[in-house]
Every structure is written in structure tokens, then in C-alpha cells.
Amino acid sequence: MKLAVIGTGYVGLVTGTCFSDLGNEVTCIDVNQAKVEGLKKGIIPIYEPGLSELVLRNHEEGRLQFTTDAAEVIPDADIVYIAVGTPQSDSGAADLSAVWKVVEGIAPHLREDALVVVKSTVPVGTNGKVYDMLKKLCGREVNVASNPEFLKEGSAISDFMYPDRVVCGVRNEAAEELLQTLHAPLVRTGKPILFMSPESSELTKYAANALLATKISFINEIANLSEKVGADINDVRIGMGHDQRIGFQFLFPGLGYGGSCFPKDVRALASLAESLELHPKIMRAVDEVNVHQRASLVRKIDAFYGGDVAGKTFGVWGLAFKPKTDDIREAPALELLSYLVEKGAIIHVHDPEAMENVQAQFGDKIHKYCKSEMEAIDGADCLAINTEWNEYRTPDFKKLKAKMTTPTIFDGRNLFDLGTMEKHGFTYFSVGRRPVDVSQA
């Protein structure tokens, strides 16, 4: 099939690239000329494992093209995907201005039998508005479907190629047959393609993300309670997770969720409910708990030092909101860095992928951007861990302690065993577990 994918952000680029790898002719369209020219040369604007190689191979083999000229591509497309960003507006609702601009732009060029698919995460009812808008602009009915994405940053290619399910919101058999054919190679292992109304598909996306976010906020509340009553959250988590009704996924305590999806989608769902005069108490509570949790490391550091961190050197491991991405949107590390900058601390940071993005935001307020995690703790008064990159999990603790001025660790991801910390003589604070304080020994 011939596909046009409008938007080369995270979702659009992964979608277009993976569909081209399945043998389709795909053209990705973006208004940013520099970005398009970079993609043609293999310059990928985001970090996603395996994506660069996939883009290069399919571009070289002629299945994947990039352009700014929608008018040249749309008339030949069997399916036109709308995959532009829908950022959070000041009110918390999704900003759909980019979607409307795309609709206006493609209307004069659509084939009569073309299918327009909304891939962007949009509030319930958006598909219907796109349908009405295209009908008015084109002077005829246009087939419009929804196909929400369920991609995790860091494993997006695998998630796309081996989905748990494919969700499609359609109005007629023609759209269903086309999307069935397109997605058939992805579900050969028996995973389902779920066809439903566009409204149901739109709500499915938000509801799924909101429930996962709820699990994260819930376990963090239990972790905070564990600290107060002397329980160990890891034991509690295991005791809960073996209940098959609950499971272990998204049941890890830490510094909360961040990134481009969960925060925005939870707030957008709550905003939608409020616009319909409903009271989304759970969604607002999930967001409130998460915002509070992101600063939990800051509160522990502030309490330990009595608010006086000026002149102290902090080694900071992890800046991205999660491993295997360079995304720092709503990352807990930003809370910590802002606090340390404001209090006059000396800050040395390391992250395998996200340092460039942090440098763009903080500049020389961060004293050192380090090439390795060990460089970041050289002469440090303490270490703060925000992201659970694999390379942080098994350090040489003797070397770690020798490099630090005082052996103090604030671990927002529970990477280390309490007994190991005691054995090596670290003062150690984690999430939902008792502190190890050798300074009081």
C-alpha cells in the first residue's frame, strides 16, 4: 500500500518506518525542512533503540521517503495517517491546533477512496470532528478512522511489530477491510485486531494510559506508607504482584511517571470529564500523587542536609524520565536539578542519552556534564539516582565509595540492596524501604 504519514515526531516516525519495513511505500511529511533533510541523511531527531538503522535501511531501499510537500504525496496515498503532536494546553486539555491544520491541508488533495487515519492521541469525539470538517471542506464524505498507538519509549519498534493488540476505530466495512489488510503481518501470532467505533478507540487509548499511571501512583503511595510503618515496599510489591488479578507490571515504586504520554493523557482525560460536568476524582488524584512523588528525592535530600546544600557536590545519575530514551519531559530529575541550582549546589550529571537535552535547558547552571557515571561522583558529597539505566545497577561499590567525599546515596529507583549498602558502609535512602544511615552507627 501507499501510505502518507503526517508528522515525524516519535509516533509518526516509528509508524512510518515500521510500515515501510513491512513492504509498504511510505512517505513521511513534516513542515520542518531541516528535519526532513536530516532524516534523508539518516539523522534521527529522537533516541529510540534500533530506529536509526531501520530508517536508513528502508530509505536506502526506496520504501521510506521524507518530504515537506504534502500536495505531491497525498493524491497517491491509499491511507493518510495524521500523527502530529497534541501537547497539553494551559487548561490541561489536549491542544489540537496541529490536527486541524493538517485536516485543512490535506482536504484538497485526497483521493475519493482514500482513508484518513487519526494516529495522534486525541480526546473522544475528535475523529467525528475530523470527519465533519473533511466533509465540509471536500464537499463529500471522507472515510475517517482511528488507530491509537500503544508504544513505549525505549521499546517502540518491538511494540509496533509485536503488539498485544491493534485497536481500530471504524465506521464502515471498507475501512475495516483496509486496516485488516495493512495490519495483518503484525498479528500472525494470533494477537487480535480490535475493531470498534472511533469514540471507543479514542477512549481506549486514554483509559489504558490512565490505568497504568494509576498503578504507578498507587504503589508510590504504598511505598511512602511503608517508610512510615517500617515495612519494605519490595516485599509488599511481591506479595501483591503474585495475585494474578494485579500482576507485577507498573508496580515498581520510584519517583513517579513522566514523559510525553502519561502526564498529558491523565490530565486530558480529567479535563474531558470536567467539560462534561463529571468529577474525575481518581484521575485528579493520580496526577496529584505523581507530581508530589517526583519531588520525593528532593524532600529527602533537603531533610538530610537541613536545607543547606550550598557548595556541596552532587553526583546525579540519570536525567531521562525512563531508560532507553533521551526524553526529559516531566522527568523527576528536573525537580532535583532545579532544587540544587536554586540552593547553590555543585552539580555533576551523567545520562547515556539525555545530557544534550538537559544542557539545552540548564546550560552552565550544571557545573559538569560527565562522560561516565564514575566521573560524575568523583569528589561528590552524595549521589542521587533518578533513572534506572542498566549501567547503574552493578557499580564497583569499593571504587564508588573511594571516589566520594562522603558515602551517601539517594536512590529514587531502588537499584541497590539494603544489605549491600550496609556492608560497604553507605548512608543510603531509597523509596519505601528503611534508610541505611551509617552516620548514626
Tell me whether residue 167 is in a domain. no
On the question of pLDDT at 163 being above 60, the answer is yes
Tell me whether residue 10 is in a domain. yes
109 and 34 in a common domain: yes
The confidence score (pLDDT) of residue 91 equals 81
Q: Is 15 within 8 Å of 91 (Cβ atoms)? A: no
On the question of pLDDT at 261 being above 60, the answer is yes
332 and 381 in a common domain: yes
CATH number of the structural domain spanning residue 343: 3.40.50.720
For the chain, percent of residues with pLDDT exceeding 70: 99
On the question of pLDDT at 383 being above 60, the answer is yes
On the question of pLDDT at 69 being above 60, the answer is yes
Pairing of strands 368-369, 2-6: unpaired
- By CB neighbour count within 10 A (0-12 exposed, 13-18 middle, 19+ buried), where does 292 fall? middle
Joined together, the cell numbers standing for residue 349 give 550529571
In the chain, the amino acid numbered 279 is H
Cell 495475585 locates to: 243
150 and 6 in a common domain: yes
Q: At 260, is the pLDDT very low, low, confident or very high (cuts 50, 70, 90)?
A: confident
Which of 105-114, 178-187, 259-268 shows the lowest mean pLDDT across its residues? 259-268
Mean pLDDT, residues 85-109: 92
216 and 152 in a common domain: no
- State the binding site for substrate: 150-153, 205, 250-254, 258, 322
357 and 235 in a common domain: no
Q: How far, in Å, CA of 24 to CA of 2, rounded? A: 6
The confidence score (pLDDT) of residue 254 equals 97
- Other CB atoms within 10 A of residue 9 CB: 17
In the chain, the amino acid numbered 335 is E
In the chain, the amino acid numbered 48 is E
344 and 271 in a common domain: no
pLDDT digit string, tens, across residues 8-52: 999 999 999 999 999 999 999 999 999 999 999 888 888 999 999
On the question of pLDDT at 368 being above 70, the answer is yes
Joined together, the cell numbers standing for residue 117 give 487515519
Q: What is the DSSP letter of 393?
A: S
Q: Is 280 within 8 Å of 269 (Cβ atoms)? A: yes
Task: Give the number of C-alpha atoms closer than 13 A to the C-alpha of residue 319, restricted to the C-beta side.
Answer: 28
Tell me whether residue 179 is in a domain. no
Backbone region of residue 65 per phi and psi (left: phi > 0; alpha: psi in -120 to 50; beta: other values) = beta
Q: At 230, is the pLDDT very low, low, confident or very high (cuts 50, 70, 90)?
A: very high
Q: How many residues does the chain have?
A: 441
Q: Is 193 within 8 Å of 262 (Cβ atoms)? A: no
Sign of CA dihedral 45, 48, 49, 54: negative
240 and 342 in a common domain: no
pLDDT digit string, tens, across residues 276-304: 999 999 999 999 999 999 999 999 999 99
Which of the listed residues 293, 313, 330 is the one where a domain comes to its end? 293
Look up the pTM and report it.
0.92
> What's the first-to-final CA gap in the chain, in angstroms?
69
For the chain, percent of residues with pLDDT exceeding 90: 95
Tell me whether residue 192 is in a domain. no
- State the binding site: 30, 35, 86, 121, 150-153, 205, 250-254, 258, 264, 322, 329
Angle (nearest 5°) at CA 29 between 28 and 30: 125
126 and 7 in a common domain: yes
The domain in which residue 399 lies consists of 295-440
The confidence score (pLDDT) of residue 441 equals 52
- On average, the pLDDT of the chain sits at 95
Q: How far, in Å, CA of 218 to CA of 229, rounded? A: 17
Find residue 167's DSSP bridge partners: 194
Tell me whether residue 226 is in a domain. yes
430 and 343 in a common domain: yes
Backbone angles phi, psi at 230, to 5 degrees: 85, 20
Give residue 288's Cα distance to chain centre.
18
- Classify 406 as helix, strand or coil: coil
On the question of pLDDT at 438 being above 80, the answer is no
Tell me whether residue 139 is in a domain. yes
Q: How far, in Å, CA of 210 to CA of 301, rounded? A: 30
Mean pLDDT, residues 67-93: 93
**Number of domains composing the chain:** 3
Q: DSSP assignment of 220-286, as one string? A: HHHHHHHHHHT--HHHHHHHHHTSTTT-STT---SS---SSSHHHHHHHHHHHHHHTT---HHHHHH
17 and 113 in a common domain: yes
The confidence score (pLDDT) of residue 382 equals 97
Q: How far, in Å, CA of 268 to CA of 89, rounded? A: 9
pLDDT digit string, tens, across residues 401-429: 999 999 999 999 999 999 999 999 999 99
Please name the helix (run of DSSP H) or strand (run of DSSP E) that holds residue 428, with its range, or none: strand 427-429
Joined together, the cell numbers standing for residue 153 give 519509549
Tell me whether residue 337 is in a domain. yes
Find residue 146's DSSP bridge partners: 118, 169
- State the binding site for NAD(+): 30, 35, 86, 121, 153, 264, 329
Which of the listed residues 137, 162, 187 is the one where a domain comes to its end? 162
pLDDT digit string, tens, across residues 169-204: 999 999 999 999 999 999 998 999 999 999 999 999
CATH number of the structural domain spanning residue 285: 1.10.1040.10
Which of the listed residues 293, 325, 353 is the one where a domain comes to its end? 293
Residue of 18, 168, 261, 370 marked active site: 261
132 and 62 in a common domain: yes
On the question of pLDDT at 440 being above 90, the answer is no
Q: How far, in Å, CA of 59 to CA of 66, rounded? A: 9
pLDDT digit string, tens, across residues 231-248: 999 999 999 999 999 999
* Residue 261: active-site member: yes
Which of 213-217, 272-276, 343-347 shows the lowest mean pLDDT across its residues? 272-276
Tell me whether residue 80 is in a domain. yes
135 and 10 in a common domain: yes
Q: How far, in Å, CA of 152 to CA of 433, rounded? A: 28
Angle (nearest 5°) at CA 173 between 169 and 177: 85
